[in-house]
A = this chain, B = another copy of it.
């Protein structure tokens, strides 16, 4: 069994938490107290990590929020990865994939140059575009299946000639492509009902469930429908609703208290169900 997956499932079981903290650290949304610092995004992330470490099973770093600031953003990504608690699953939310020769380089980027435990990848280009990721059998590879956004209707939910939606074909292929139990899928919490259906269909896969909070999904539904602690495992990601609490913070401590309060609340919601 993939060691990344074992680590995630141990953490989920011991903490009774499925919380994944999404570090979508948008400079324009963070409290003013950070913005005057030399490295605002890194200091913001360190504060969020301190405030959530006792409640989180995983951390998800979305590469877009770092690439958007060019080289200085990439330095923040580098140092943020170092700051993540080693007992939590670290996910590079990168949504990469290319022809095999090139995907090999992406796998090297996010499993070696930046040694994350897990990555998200996009399925459109098919098997050889994902194989280089699956070759790392100690990691976790989350393939986009049914995403939380409205655009999922455009292609993901299109019906194929066998009467099933495209995302079901993706699910089937992912199940056959995994190695050493290193496959996961991304299913949005905004797709209640379908989340439960996919969970029952593929109990052996690890689920990454985004969309709770700002996107409208509920933690209760996500945990109820997505949890499968005995087998596949799952984490539910919260980004904006957790890391950008409302309020005017006069100190980093005040900010951390607000984030800690929200993380504890989410953790309690999860414990009440698990």
Binding site for B on A (CB under 8 A): 24, 26, 62, 64-65, 67-71, 73-75, 78, 93, 95-103, 105-106, 108-110, 112-114, 122-130, 144, 147-156, 158-161, 163, 166, 169-170, 173, 215
Contacts and interface: CB of A to CB of B under 8 A. Distances in A.
Contact of A62 (B69, B98, B160, B169): B98
A24 B169 contact: no
A62 B102 contact: yes
A129 B149 contact: yes
B155 A170 contact: yes
Nearest to A122: B122
Given A99-B148, A155-B170, A64 B106 contact: yes
9 residue pairs, one from A and one from B, having the closest CB atoms? A126-B151, A126-B154, A70-B113, A67-B109, A64-B105, A68-B105, A68-B108, A128-B151, A159-B161
A223 to B, nearest CB: 21
Given A70-B109, A113-B69, A163 B166 contact: no
Contacts of A170: 155
A154 B166 contact: no
A240 to B, nearest CB: 8
13 contacts: A24-B101, A68-B112, A68-B113, A69-B109, A93-B98, A95-B122, A124-B124, A125-B156, A126-B151, A128-B149, A129-B151, A154-B173, A155-B166
Given A95-B96, A155-B169, A64 B102 contact: yes
B150 A126 contact: yes
Given A125-B152, A147-B125, A149-B100, A105 B67 contact: yes
Given A113-B70, A154-B126, A166-B155, A64 B98 contact: yes
